[in-house]
Structure 1
Amino acid sequence: METGFTKWIIVITVVMCCLLELIDTSIVNVALTQMMGNLSATQQEVSWVVASYAIANVIVIPMTGFLGEQFGRKNYYLGSVILFTLASMACGQSTDIWELVAFRFIQGVGGGALMATSQAILIDTFPPNQLALGQALFGMGVIIGPTIGPTLGGFIVDNYDWPWIFYVNVPVGILASIFTALFIRDPDRIKNAIPRPFLEIDWAGVFLLILGVGSLQLVLEQGEREDWFEEPYIVWFTILTFVGMVGFIWRELTAKQPIVDLRVLSKSRNLAIGAFLSFILGFGLFASVFVFPIFCQRILGFSAEQTGYLLLPGALLSGFMMPVVGKMIQSGVSQKFMLPVGFTVFFIFSYWMSTQITPLAGQSDFFWPLMLRGFGLSLLFLPITTMSLSGISGKDAGQAAGLTGMIRQLGGSFGVALVGTYLERATMHNRVALLPNISLYSTETQQRLQGFIANFMAQGSDLVKAQQQAYAALEGTLMKQTAIITYAQIFLMIGGFFLLCLPLVLLIKRAKPGEKVDLNAAH
């Protein structure tokens, strides 16, 4: 255990790296349009800038425990920081869209290790009676990172150029590399670990993990853009997902030294429940961050920077609450009490947002709902993590942490894919449902058209042009109302997922008196 100045330098280093990794999952979203213009890319091509990073992330996260043991955790972490930093510089220097996609994949390989290994380093930095505080600091990065990504990205795009969303990583990465080399040490169990011989590594498990999880992430990232199974390559990658995942599960349950030990799920009921709750947490975290900026920018006309600033206070509240929640758990407050409160608060946030979505909504209308979101998330992340790993020790804790991290990431991908698909399909359905209300034979519709025509003629249009503009304005009003109904439905859907999780809390096994959460191997 570290103390004093060294302890807090390590904390600053790993939280900084965790934030970098998670910010980069969402920071590029606001710069895609600018990238399309500068790199002469289509919308389909530029979407791979997001997808390649996510695919690399979700492949690497469950393997971090094995890789840390194989190469030494400090060496692996330092190498990942350097790789992430160099790839960030290369991304900013890219002159071709596919060059950028390739470097984003490499950046994701380094970034996946930063998040999972940062958690392990924090755990080893704090004594057992402060484990909840270490997890709280890690949770600050997990919750705040995806939320402030659009804020930072919007500011950079509005004031500079898109390569700077990658260049900002470079000085932080250099500083983190220096601090890692000087201050981070391997615990004895890592120093004394004997690396597996090359031929004894579970290469079949590695291949099936890459095939199954990588294909699944690709389908989730690209499916909605390609109208799902209308595109042949989505069909083929869906088949590869099935083959890879079934093969991976079978291999890891039967191998003597699996690269990801799935048998740990059968050893703890709390871990199995926690894995599912992690999926829902990722779903709500990423889906809400995905859909809210789209609504603000498309319907209300906010800039990316304005939208980011709206999300920032709630994210900061989550960060402030994390250590408080850690202290509560440390003092004996049960996760079985905190989790229902967290799920209920997030449902209330979702319902409240569905009522605030109107054509006249302003920034002040979203402040308190988003603060409530931040409060709810702070009551979910740490209780789910500590509950999942209670009673698990040694290497099993490392495997469990890697699994829950991967599942949380996949939950986010499922959330974004489902919300994106629902947004497209439900918009058309709601439009058809509203059409009978604007029949040209309706007196109200005719009065609205005449009002539009009179307004456009007063602005200088002739009768024919004013009529065309009036019909366009009527169509615009229809689509805006349709979109508002759809976004409200999406928030209710997200809240519904959280509400349905409440019965699962009853299945959580209460911790035995004096039982500790052994996170010392949680890579």
Structure 2
Amino acid sequence: MLEQNSLVEYGARRVIITITCVFCALLEVVDTTIVNVALNDMKGSLGATLNEVSWVITAYAIANVIIVPMTSWLSQQFGRTNYFAASVILFTVSSFLCGNASGIGELIVFRFIQGLGGGALLVTSQTIITEIYPVEKRPMAQAIYVLGVIVGPTLGPPLGGYIIEHSAWPNIFYINIPVGIIATLLTLMYVKSPKYSEKRKPGEVDWLGIGLLTVSVGSLQYVLEKGQEEDWFSNTTILVLSIVAVLGTFLFIWRELVYKYPVVELRVLKDSNLRIGVILSFIMGFGLYGSTFVIPLYTQSILHWNAFQAGMLMVPSSLMVAFMMPVVGKLIQGGASQKLLITGGMLIFFLFCLGCYGIMTPNTSGDDFFWPLMLRGVGMGFLSVPVSVMSLSTLKGVQIGQGAAFTGMLRQLGGSFGVALISTFISRQNMAHRSTLVSKLDIYNPDVQHRVAQLKGGMIAKGMAPNVAEKTALTMLDGTVSVQATIMSYMDVFIMIGGMFLVCVPLVILFVKRSKTKVSLADAAGH
């Protein structure tokens, strides 16, 4: 076990460590979304197909989800300072190699390595920030950390869009290098490593557990990333990997519960607050990444915006989250009920989804999204810090790192599930709505005939031949149906996400407890 109090820092040291950790977490999260807008340019310059280039995103996500659960164990094996610094170096060097890649295969390999470094940054940053603050200040510490995690996915697309518009795609990776060098130096100078009671000898290391974790989580992430593209279970690879993921997860859980030195300590999930926190982290990941996925999709496909414009639309929402973080941190420090704050956040996020559902039409402008997105910012502010604090509040010592690893992994998986399910849901709903709309378009209906005649008349007036004009009119009508079907499927997504958040409200009310045996952070702040 490690001695907690020796890790608490004060003054300038604490500020420097906090800034370093937030920047590292921000780098990691920005890199999950910044690449999305550069895929076309990569495809052109590397001579790759769309399917090949999408692996640039998939490889990073798979590596991320594999490494996150092992971070606590790796910190104990090598010392936290060494492991954190090594992760920053790995992330920085692989960023340089990604920018220098001359072929798509190289780029995918380097992105995988970058993901191995990046996944560690996210969770280790959270553990370090939690431990350098005294117990009563931890809600504020979590607020600062979560700010980076929530703002990151939103910053990625506009930043990527700006770089693509004004320079070349390798610069998306090169911008990580100066931050990475500074973060490495500051980590080695300032971050203390806790004294862990023992390291595992090579013979005691849970190699089978590591193997099972890698296979099961890697397979699951592949299925989520590629399922929609490959038409899910009608594809043999997807089917086989789904079976591997289920069997691998079952065997991994069994192994970790029976082995003397497990690589992932599942017993930490006996803590009821952490269990609820893990579920809520998954739902938050689903809502955060899901809404960040749908709104830019809507503005780009329906309003024909470019990536930079679509990304900038999300910025005010991120600023609102930034404004809310210290406010919520202060509320928790003042003894406000985490249960109440989380319930409020869930309800506000539901209202955001309802707002987006209500405003979507073919003529909706970007301005119409302003207030719903502000609500999203407020909801995320009320959710992120209390969920983070509540998850880790009744854990001590080495358990904090293990708990942070679970919440981090589930937030990432929630995001992956969100994007995979939403893209499948959109295409299915799109087809269903389209067939419903087309069934109502009877060519013998006077209204339909009148609309076609109107469009045809407009074309003929512009000098088009009557037969061509009629064809064009019917094509335009078909286009209108497609747009309507797409919008209706986006509306359905918001109802689905909102419903998930609403269902969680009773879960929070019934199961989130203030522990009587251990002091929760909110209690500590109140005394």
> 1:145 Cα shift?
0.6
> Does residue 1:242 correspond to 2:246, yes or no?
yes
- Maintained 8 Å contact 1:392/1:517: no
Match of 1:252 among 253, 256, 261: 256
| Percent identity of equivalent pairs | 49
- Maintained 8 Å contact 1:153/1:165: yes
SS at match of 1:380: helix
AA in 2 matched with 1:429: A
> 1:365 Cα shift?
0.2
CA distance in 2, matches of 1:315, 1:513: 37
Other-structure match for 2:514? 510
CA distance in 2, matches of 1:471, 1:250: 60
Q: After TM superposition, list the pairs within 5 Å mapping 1:316-355 onto structure 2.
A: 316-355=319-358
AA in 1 matched with 2:263: I
- Maintained 8 Å contact 2:124/2:401: no
> 1:33 Cα shift?
1.8
* TM-superposition CA deviations, 1:136-159 (whole Å, max 9, x none): 111001111111111111111222
* TM-superposition CA deviations, 1:81-125 (whole Å, max 9, x none): 111011111111112112111111000000001001111121232
Other-structure match for 1:25? 32
Matched length: 514
AA in 2 matched with 1:443: P
* TM-superposition CA deviations, 1:345-399 (whole Å, max 9, x none): 0000001001111111111100111111011011111111222223221222222
> 1:293 Cα shift?
0.7
SS at match of 1:62: helix
CA distance in 1, matches of 2:494, 2:266: 34
Other-structure match for 1:470? 473
Q: After TM superposition, list the pairs within 5 Å mapping 1:114-125 onto structure 2.
A: 114-125=121-132
Which moved further from structure 2: 467-476 or 450-459?
450-459
Match of 1:145 among 141, 152, 156: 152
CA distance in 1, matches of 2:110, 2:242: 25
Other-structure match for 1:217? 221
Other-structure match for 1:521? none
> 1:514 Cα shift?
7.4
CA distance in 2, matches of 1:82, 1:514: 38
> 1:128 Cα shift?
2.0
Which moved further from structure 2: 28-37 or 98-107?
28-37
CA distance in 1, matches of 2:428, 2:252: 33
Q: After TM superposition, list the pairs within 5 Å mapping 1:90-489 onto structure 2.
A: 90-187=97-194, 189-190=195-196, 193-266=197-270, 268-489=271-492
CA distance in 2, matches of 1:500, 1:127: 35
AA in 2 matched with 1:298: S
Name the CA shift for 1:235/1:18 in 2 (closer, same or farther; >3 Å). Answer: same
Name the CA shift for 1:396/1:49 in 2 (closer, same or farther; >3 Å). Answer: same
CA distance in 1, matches of 2:486, 2:77: 51
> 1:408 Cα shift?
1.2
- Maintained 8 Å contact 1:279/1:407: yes
Match of 1:499 among 502, 506, 509: 502
AA in 1 matched with 2:181: I
- Maintained 8 Å contact 1:390/1:511: no
> 1:513 Cα shift?
8.7
> Does residue 1:58 correspond to 2:65, yes or no?
yes
AA in 2 matched with 1:182: M
SS at match of 2:203: helix
CA distance in 2, matches of 1:434, 1:25: 37
> 1:201 Cα shift?
0.7
CA distance in 1, matches of 2:464, 2:185: 66
CA distance in 1, matches of 2:198, 2:330: 37
CA distance in 2, matches of 1:35, 1:458: 44
Which moved further from structure 2: 311-320 or 395-404?
395-404
CA distance in 1, matches of 2:409, 2:28: 14
AA in 2 matched with 1:202: D
Which moved further from structure 2: 206-215 or 434-443?
434-443
Other-structure match for 2:52? 45
What is the TM-score normalised by the length of structure 2? 0.95
> 1:32 Cα shift?
1.2
Structure 2's unaligned 5+ residue stretches are 1-7, 523-527
Name the CA shift for 1:204/1:514 in 2 (closer, same or farther; >3 Å). Answer: closer
Name the CA shift for 1:133/1:8 in 2 (closer, same or farther; >3 Å). Answer: same
SS at match of 1:260: coil
Which moved further from structure 2: 52-61 or 124-133?
124-133
AA in 2 matched with 1:303: N
SS at match of 2:266: coil
Other-structure match for 1:70? 77
> 1:210 Cα shift?
0.4
Runs of 4+ residues deviating >6 angstroms: none
SS at match of 2:54: helix
Name the CA shift for 1:202/1:513 in 2 (closer, same or farther; >3 Å). Answer: closer
> 1:73 Cα shift?
0.6
SS at match of 1:198: coil
SS at match of 2:238: helix
> 1:194 Cα shift?
3.0
> 1:13 Cα shift?
1.1
> 1:512 Cα shift?
3.2
Q: After TM superposition, list the pairs within 5 Å mapping 1:79-94 onto structure 2.
A: 79-94=86-101
* TM-superposition CA deviations, 1:452-504 (whole Å, max 9, x none): 21222233322222222111111110100111111111111100000011110
CA distance in 1, matches of 2:513, 2:13: 37
CA distance in 2, matches of 1:319, 1:244: 39
CA distance in 2, matches of 1:323, 1:202: 41
- Maintained 8 Å contact 1:22/1:142: yes
> 1:3 Cα shift?
2.4
> 1:24 Cα shift?
0.7
The CA RMSD over aligned residues, in Å, is 1.4
* TM-superposition CA deviations, 1:312-369 (whole Å, max 9, x none): 1111211221122111111110111111100000000001001111111111100111
CA distance in 2, matches of 1:177, 1:394: 25
